[in-house]
Structure 1
């Protein structure tokens, strides 16, 4: 079995998380339709403004040319390759199979209903870290398989496979994924991870070049506690008003409040990995959606632990929260049996 090198974290977890998120400055972002956003031209419109919305590897650095050769970009079909037509990332796990997020291929329409993106609506850019026409190979899509348990309004089981119509004609490598046992070893607090993707940089300007950021696995329960504390802080004023209006006494109010908080679902399920930094400023957001979260191994290789699923946004709803401490990533190891089943059934 490959070995990984855990990184010990120097700061106390509780004190690092609670104050920053309890103030209500950020909240979980549920962003619908990366494909529709790019296809409609809204990404291009917003990228021209300082308040542009979209995704980025926050606090990252430019990736070296040829680095992360499994990274791919999902691009609106029939359009020039560029920052305005790229809507999600992905990773090559086999010669003709791309791993990405389900919310990249299952979109919310204007009327609130959900629909699946069709294979002919996008292409996959392979072999280039630069979103520039003429670079890499644009590969047609043959089929799309989203996890059957994924629901558009719930970011659980946020995983999908894209089958390419042919092997890429540009240099690439595939990335290994862990089984459940090895995934449990990877998903330990302090393990170093690297997230890669394109999108907005500081100042909300899109980046045509692939970026990377080194972050660490963080304890999911502590991430959940921090987010629940932030949600409670947002909700408490409304609850106090309702309790006073209804004439509830202090004792009853506390009991009802405690029960409400206890019944609230945890934002990060067991199918998600929490990764970020204690100091914040290094994380991912929705435009990096579908891209890989990889773990460096002692033998110099890498293994994919997660898929970019969702992050934190400012309360305005625009851009990514640059002080966010963490983002959520689909735990790939939980879905290996499903991945194998889909690939075996679609040779």
Structure 2
């Protein structure tokens, strides 16, 4: 298995209908990354093992896309989380080659074909200055300052690294039968730093990354189209954003958990950027 290529495919954050090669560029894949001929048969590309998000389940979940013609469903390529009324947190690899004018945020509905979807321009963009250091995909976070506030409940950020039991992740990734118009969600078991590092030797920075998935059996995971979206503590009054969908080899494969940017490690840096925007 060519793990480098497979990683690049996983990092293809949502080759949504109608976007084709442009979506791959949006996702931050290197221009010379080649898709293996057997990719479709090699692994599934979806929120795997889950179901439809219901109205109000994750009000902070938003889609990230490009401006222009076509429906939000056709233009969406990554996910994001509303962390302030006019700020979205997403993955650096979704936007590292972009400027603010290249981006819009879709909110207000879990169905991207709904007439209730609100499209909001991005006024400013901040990509983590230490993205890809000390290892590739470290510090995989970016902030989008919106042109106007959203009527959306933000999610609180995790402030301290913790060990969890189950987490929840959500997005518009491919279900294996095409990209869904309605966001999907799934529960994923937390994976310890030790097991995460054993799964991906020399590729995991435990300080800025966390893993989740069923190591023994596979079957539940995030994947293409979900990058930048949230991984959260289970639903409840104190639900918090634990991580950002980032990378992994394959999708829902036993032994290959999903890797997420660990929000608790970025918290201070995020607050510093927000304070600068407010000032």
TM-score interval, normalised by the smaller of the two chains: 0.7 to 0.9
Unaligned runs of 5+ in 2: 24-34
Summarize deviations over 1:87-125 as a string: whole Å, max 9, x none: 10000000000000000101xxxxxxxxx3011112101
Aligned to 1:341: 272
Residue 332 of structure 1 pairs with residue 263 of structure 2 = yes
Aligned to 1:30: 8
For residue 274 of structure 1, give the secondary structure of its aligned residue in structure 2.
strand
Aligned to 1:139: 120
Number of matched residues?
Answer: 260
For residue 225 of structure 1, give the secondary structure of its aligned residue in structure 2.
helix
1:39 Cα deviation from its structure 2 partner: 8.0
For residue 199 of structure 1, give the secondary structure of its aligned residue in structure 2.
coil
Distance in structure 1 (CA, Å) of the matches to 2:275 and 2:71 = 32
Aligned to 1:207: 180
1:166 corresponds, among 131, 148, 151, to 148
1:224 Cα deviation from its structure 2 partner: 1.8
What is the 5 A alignment of 1:245-284? 265-277=202-214, 278-284=216-222
1:199 Cα deviation from its structure 2 partner: 1.8
More helix by proportion, 1 or 2?
A: 1
What is the 5 A alignment of 1:42-57? 42=21, 51=40, 55-57=45-47
For residue 104 of structure 2, give the secondary structure of its aligned residue in structure 1.
strand
Residue 176 of structure 1 pairs with residue 156 of structure 2 = yes
User: RMSD in angstroms over aligned alpha carbons?
Assistant: 3.1
Distance in structure 1 (CA, Å) of the matches to 2:144 and 2:166 = 28
Aligned to 2:32: none
- Greater relative contact order structure (CA < 8 Å, 6+ sep): 1
Residue 155 of structure 1 pairs with residue 137 of structure 2 = yes
Distance in structure 1 (CA, Å) of the matches to 2:274 and 2:185 = 29
Greater radius of gyration (CA) = 1
Residue 289 of structure 1 pairs with residue 227 of structure 2 = yes
Aligned to 2:26: none
Q: 1:146 to 1:312 in 2, by over 3 A?
A: same
1:323 Cα deviation from its structure 2 partner: 4.9
Q: 1:324 to 1:139 in 2, by over 3 A?
A: farther
